[in-house]
Amino acid sequence: MKMKRVICCLLAVLLLLAALPFAGAEFKDKILIQSQFVTAVNEMAAQGIISGFPDGSFGPRKTLTRAQAAKILCVMLEGAEKTEALTKTETGFADVPATHWAAKFVAYCADKGIVAGIGDGKFDPDGQLSTAAFAKMLLVAYGDDAAKYTGANWLDAVRETVDAGFIGFGLTSKVSAKAAKRQEAAQMAYNALTLAEATAATKRDDYTGGLPTALPEKLKVLFIGTSGSADCMLSYLVEFLQEAGVKEMVLGNLRKSSTRLIEHVQYAVTQESVYTYAKSTGGKWKSTEKGGACMDDAVLDEQWDYIVVQHGVSKSGDETTYHPWLEILLQILQKKCPNAILGWNLNWALDYSTKATAYFDTDFGGDSAKMYEALVRASQNQALTDKRLRFTIPVGTALQNARTSYIGHKVTRDGSHLDYGIGRYIAAMTWACTFTGADPAKFTLAPEKLTAGQIAVAKEAVANAMRTPMAITQSKITAEP
């Protein structure tokens, strides 16, 4: 079903206001909304999908009624203006006559097969709605087969679908026969709409923007990733960018160890303070305590020019772990930072000395080249098919190139995280070259901990990665100079 962007709801007639709230920017009982639901309630209220009562309250812990659910679904699917313009009021239910405030909403949803009665020709408009029942309505509204959720086991079928998907994210408990609170309904509606918009966004091909075509004098870049994202940014990157000619820069690094795309989505929805956020302005890095920042602390901190995302390395080569989580994450970021250009960081393969041997040995036989091939394949097939990702930073390729030199596997400190010398030097140089177009050969930064041979390998590896970002290039430096 084709999604349409909804707009702010207009005030309806007095009868409608008495039953369902007007859309308000502020609710007088906003303090009663649980923190994990605030984003969803605010977003859905701003779009006129869920609104407050005439007294200015939202009633976050009041139970959602069946009639209210019908109205929510109408606005989600048709937008506020078209919903208010609906004229059909014949519902087929004895307890929802044409004069009922929700008649046109119920009629619309019944015609679409989204809602059904409770038997005996009744709809029970004021009846409580369970979280499972509302989830079922959302699933059917956005194209799922209603037949899957009928019969004695309909609740189990809904749970199975929701548990494997996105609609239930952010709830305090799994969907069940328990009555849905209005704040929970807001969260579920927000999730369903975000998923629908994300799916529609992947089918567009009109995205514009990309890397700078000339050396940028100012640069604002945020990296959302794992502990490995610190390896790309916290050492040498500022110096490389300055040497390339960037005069002003703001760099942000939002990270949590081993975080996969699905978990980034979860934290984006719940705004849990689980990340470490480091920020560099004026060439100096300052960091929050570990687990002291939520995603919005970083995403909304600046008007970012670029936001780069990264998958947890343990699942980067598993193509089944990308969909729909990457699409949803990009959709959330795009809403919050509509002017930011989104990019992808190509992860690097582990090596034989890694402590995390379970998946490395099992999935790749302890072979870095084999893991690298899986990372590239998954990126090309699952990540870069989303045209919202306008560029790739080929860190994984640069490091794999270096491994073909005399350095071998000595680019990490523990088989996974990069060595503080050569590993981070290569990663930072790759980032700097990506954003500035600089020639690696012209960099003069020479840290004391690096030998001339290591620097030569780094420059060669990065140069080859910039020319061939998705394939290994054999190094010509096979013996230490």
What digits encode the pLDDT tens for the residues 51-100?
A: 888 899 999 999 999 999 999 999 999 998 999 899 999 999 999 999 99
323 vs 49, 145, 158, 330, 376, CA distance in Å? 27, 20, 20, 12, 16
Q: Measured between alpha carbons, how far is 100 from 126 in angstroms, rounded to an integer?
A: 11
pLDDT tops 80 at residue 1: no
Angle between helices 395-403 and 422-436 (to 10 degrees): 140
Q: Is 255 exposed, middle or buried (0-12, 13-18, 19+ CB in 10 A)?
A: buried
Predicted local distance difference test score (pLDDT) of residue 182: 95
174 vs 152, 158, 347, CA distance in Å? 19, 11, 33
- Rounded percentage of the chain residues whose pLDDT exceeds 90: 83
Q: Phi, psi (5° rounding) for residue 418?
A: -75, 145
Residue extents of the structural domains in the chain: 14-201, 218-467
DSSP-based helix, strand, coil % in the chain, nearest 5: 45, 10, 45
Contacts of 328 (CB under 8 A, 6+ apart): 166, 194, 195, 198, 265
pLDDT tops 70 at residue 245: yes
Cβ-contact 356, 350 below 8 angstroms: yes
Coil, helix or strand at residue 405: coil
Coil, helix or strand at residue 330: helix
What digits encode the pLDDT tens for the residues 345-358?
A: 999 999 876 665 67
Over its C-alpha atoms, the chain yields an Rg (Å, rounded) of 26
Candidates 462, 310, 466; CA nearest to 379 is 310
Mean of pLDDT over the chain: 91
**What is the β-pairing status of strands 218-225 and 306-309?**
parallel
Q: Measured between alpha carbons, how far is 325 from 429 in angstroms, rounded to an integer?
A: 29
CATH architecture of structural domain 218-467: 3-Layer(aba) Sandwich (3.40)
Which pLDDT band holds residue 11 (cuts at 50, 70, 90)? very low
Predicted local distance difference test score (pLDDT) of residue 10: 25
Average pLDDT for residues 47-52, to the nearest whole number?
Answer: 87
Contacts of 174 (CB under 8 A, 6+ apart): 159, 162, 163, 168
pLDDT tops 80 at residue 478: yes
Average pLDDT for residues 147-164, to the nearest whole number?
Answer: 94
Cβ-contact 410, 419 below 8 angstroms: yes
Other C-beta atoms lying within 10 Å of the C-beta of residue 339: 9
Q: Which residue has the higher pLDDT, 329 or 26?
A: 329
Q: What is the pTM of this model?
A: 0.89
Strands in 218-225's sheet, in edge-to-edge order, are 284-287, 276-281, 248-255, 218-225, 306-309, 341-345, 389-393
Sign of the Cα torsion 288, 293, 298, 300 reads negative
Q: Phi, psi (5° rounding) for residue 279?
A: -140, 135
Average pLDDT for residues 115-133, to the nearest whole number?
Answer: 93
